[in-house]
């Protein structure tokens, strides 16, 4: 009886891959948000920043850039890890590859920084 319950739970809690169209759509949306937020930041002049009332839009643009950029980097790194045929043999190798992938994707998403 318990083996049957364990098998049912294992089957019910197995990870499910999202459809490719959903992943592509999410990636496109996040990239668009990050790009729009970066354009918003570029359009602001430092002289206008003297008045604290003008800080809301740039602060929101920074938050959107950071959030969308981070989500986009994580989404791409996760997809890269899934597509990799040879899995790392130990935890250190996995961590090194993941850090390398994160740095590479961050350079792609935020090339100006």
Q: What is the pLDDT of residue 112?
A: 56
Q: What is the pLDDT of residue 65?
A: 86
The band of 85, judged by pLDDT with boundaries at 50, 70 and 90, is: low
SS3 per-residue string spanning 62-95: HHHHHHHHHHHHHHHHHHHHHHCCCCCCCHHHHH
Angle at 100 between CA 94 and CA 105, to 5 degrees: 125
What 8-state DSSP symbol labels residue 15?
-
Domain definitions of the chain by residue range = 19-109
Q: What are phi and psi of 85, to 5 degrees?
A: -75, -50
Spatial contact of 75 and 96, defined as CB atoms under 8 Å apart: no
| pTM, entire model | 0.64
Spatial contact of 68 and 30, defined as CB atoms under 8 Å apart: yes
């Amino acid at each position: 009886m318990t083996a049957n319950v364990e098998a049912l739970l294992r089957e019910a809690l197995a990870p499910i891959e999202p459809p490719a169209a959903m992943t592509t759509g999410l990636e496109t949306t996040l990239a668009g948000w990050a790009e729009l937020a970066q354009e918003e930041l570029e359009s602001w002049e430092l002289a206008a920043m003297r008045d604290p009332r003008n800080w809301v839009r740039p602060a929101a643009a920074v938050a959107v850039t950071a959030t969308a950029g981070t989500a986009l980097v994580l989404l791409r790194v996760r997809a890269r890890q899934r597509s990799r045929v040879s899995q790392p043999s130990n935890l250190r190798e996995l961590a090194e590859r993941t850090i390398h992938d994160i740095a590479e994707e961050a350079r792609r998403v935020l090339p100006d920084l």
